[in-house]
Chain A
């Protein structure tokens, strides 16, 4: 559990439960919601926006190849001294 208590899948109720159900439906075979996304579970409406935002940038036919996008992702996280 993160230091800010997010909503666990098993304890989700109301809109948080709905948001999680939608995510599992869109991501069959995933055992749990990734931690980075669970961070947004305190605001299920925003959780959906974040999921949509990351999907849109990735799945939409963008201007940059996926390879370049992943290079950017790797570099930014390294620069942010984020564990990678």
Chain B
């Protein structure tokens, strides 16, 4: 059976938030991640309020920002260093390792 999560990951790997088969609250969070990634300076109170209105708590919103920024950090370093391994961060144990690599 096709793993639904891999459909989600496939869409997000193309940055296709609209097509990802996810609930609307998660889609709103992904839109926020896109905003913070592309032009964080454009973030407004309404953007955060929109997340609260679909159920995200401030701790969850804050953590989403941390992870978004952390990955921007890794992406910048990987690009500056010119990592050849296209899947470079999939090799980080446990965290974002490919699903099949992590047992259970």
Contact = CB atoms under 8 A, between A and B. Distances in A.
Contacts of B50: none
Interface in B33-70: 33-34, 37-38, 57, 59-60, 62-64, 66-68, 70
Interface string A26-68: 0100100011110110000000000001110111001110011
Interface of B: 5, 8-9, 12-15, 17, 20, 22, 26, 29-30, 33-34, 37-38, 57, 59-60, 62-64, 66-68, 70-72, 74-96
A4 B37 CA distance: 25
A82 B63 contact: no
Contact of A64 (B9, B67, B94): B67
Nearest to B9: A74
A16 B89 CA distance: 21
Contacts of A82: 75, 78-79
A50 to B, nearest CB: 9
